């Protein structure tokens, strides 16, 4: 096998596009951790909920997809708000293990609730987006869309956090929630807004995933662990760190799989993760929102 070939280029490009999906997933999870200091173990299940919202509105109720898709952002945004208000807020000042267990419980609740309502069947919106072909190089438009959305999401979030009043408040609370409380900032309101924003990011991820994956109650098994790993590797709570870690992991998986096998690539990714945790337990990038 040649060291570099045309197919390798295709694998690298696909790795970058896959990284876009992962980066988008990592953004919301990191945002919540960075500000509220809570890990939403059930984050991928919120994405799953968004996918079901789109499926129900579009396929069952017959809404146009362009109308159904934004409702996932609104719906999961509201879910984020409710999750914080009902589950996180009452135990925010208790040991972190309680929050972890509570969101873990939410994970099983959402999985089983979806099974109860929709059954265990695999569902699909049956939409096939065009494929970009450049000579023998094929690029999936749905993945290109995810990549673009991830980049725009990152820029949008950055602008929101750096240029708006509430964004500045969020960053301030992320840096020191106790001091900000003493200075009269309503941290509860900031937490609520942050949770809704993270939910909305999950809704956006749902729109892009529903174009690429089947909708089923257990899709979190495919994306949950890897998203969490990316967030930890990039430095939990560090948006930029998570963004870049997503592309590092996706390239390891893509190139590792290209030269070895799909199974081997995940072994390499997890071994690298363990090594990073030994060398830099705080993640590759210093935690800083």
Q: Where do contacts with other proteins occur on this chain (CB under 8 A)?
A: 5, 7, 10-11, 14-15, 18, 21, 111-112, 115, 119-124, 126, 128, 131, 133, 136, 138, 140, 142-143, 212-214, 216-219, 221-223, 226, 253-255, 257-258, 261-263, 265-266
Nearest in space to 147 (alpha carbons), one of 11, 279, 247, 276: 247
Q: Which is nearer to other proteins, 128 or 183 (CB)?
A: 128
How far apart, in whole angstroms, are the C-alpha atoms of residue 84 and residue 234? 24
Q: Which is nearer to other proteins, 7 or 164 (CB)?
A: 7
Task: Tell me the angle at which helices 262-279 and 220-234 cross, rounded to the nearest 10 degrees.
Answer: 30
Q: Which is nearer to other proteins, 219 or 248 (CB)?
A: 219
CA angle 160, 164, 165 (to 5 degrees): 135
Q: Which is nearer to other proteins, 14 or 99 (CB)?
A: 14
Least separation in angstroms between CB 41 and other proteins: 17
Q: What is the DSSP letter of 124?
A: -
Q: Which is nearer to other proteins, 223 or 243 (CB)?
A: 223
Question: Cα–Cα distances in Å, from 7 out to 75, 143, 147?
Answer: 40, 18, 20
Least separation in angstroms between CB 235 and other proteins: 22
Cβ partners under 8 Å of residue 206, min gap 6: 47, 48, 49, 50, 51, 53, 54, 72, 76
Q: Which is nearer to other proteins, 10 or 37 (CB)?
A: 10
How far apart, in whole angstroms, are the C-alpha atoms of residue 289 and residue 275? 24
Least separation in angstroms between CB 212 and other proteins: 7
Least separation in angstroms between CB 97 and other proteins: 23
Least separation in angstroms between CB 21 and other proteins: 8
Least separation in angstroms between CB 265 and other proteins: 7
Q: What per-residue string of b and e applies to 181-205 under the rule 16 or more CB within 10 Å gives b?
A: eeeeeebeebbbbbbbbbbbbbbbb
CB 238 within 8 A of CB 286: yes
User: If residue 133 lies in a helix (H) or strand (E), which one and from where to where?
Assistant: strand 131-134
């Amino acid at each position: 096998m040649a060291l570099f070939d045309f197919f390798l280029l295709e694998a690298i490009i696909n790795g970058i596009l896959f990284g876009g999906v992962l980066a988008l997933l990592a953004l919301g999870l990191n945002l919540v951790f960075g500000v509220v200091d809570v890990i939403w173990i059930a984050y991928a299940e919120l994405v799953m909920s968004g996918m079901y919202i789109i499926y129900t509105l579009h396929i069952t109720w017959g809404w146009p997809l362009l109308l159904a898709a934004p409702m996932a952002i609104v719906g999961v945004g509201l879910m984020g708000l409710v999750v914080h208000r009902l589950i996180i807020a009452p135990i925010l000042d208790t040991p972190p293990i309680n929050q972890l267990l509570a969101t873990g419980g939410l994970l099983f609740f959402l999985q089983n609730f979806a099974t109860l309502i929709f059954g265990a069947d695999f569902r699909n919106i049956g939409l096939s987006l065009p494929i970009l072909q450049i000579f023998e190089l094929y690029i999936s438009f749905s993945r290109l869309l995810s990549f673009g959305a991830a980049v725009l999401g990152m820029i949008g979030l950055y602008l929101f956090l750096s240029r708006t009043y509430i964004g500045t408040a969020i960053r301030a609370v992320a840096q020191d929630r106790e001091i900000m409380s003493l200075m009269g900032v309503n941290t509860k309101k900031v937490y609520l807004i942050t949770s809704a924003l993270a939910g909305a990011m999950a809704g956006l991820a749902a729109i892009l995933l529903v174009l690429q994956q089947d909708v089923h109650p257990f899709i979190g098994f495919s994306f949950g662990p890897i998203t969490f790993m990316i967030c930890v590797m990039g430095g939990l709570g560090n948006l930029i760190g998570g963004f870049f870690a997503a592309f590092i992991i996706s390239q390891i998986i893509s190139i590792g799989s290209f030269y070895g096998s799909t199974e081997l690539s995940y072994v390499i990714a997890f071994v690298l993760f363990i090594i990073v945790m030994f060398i830099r337990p705080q993640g590759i990038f210093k935690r800083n929102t």
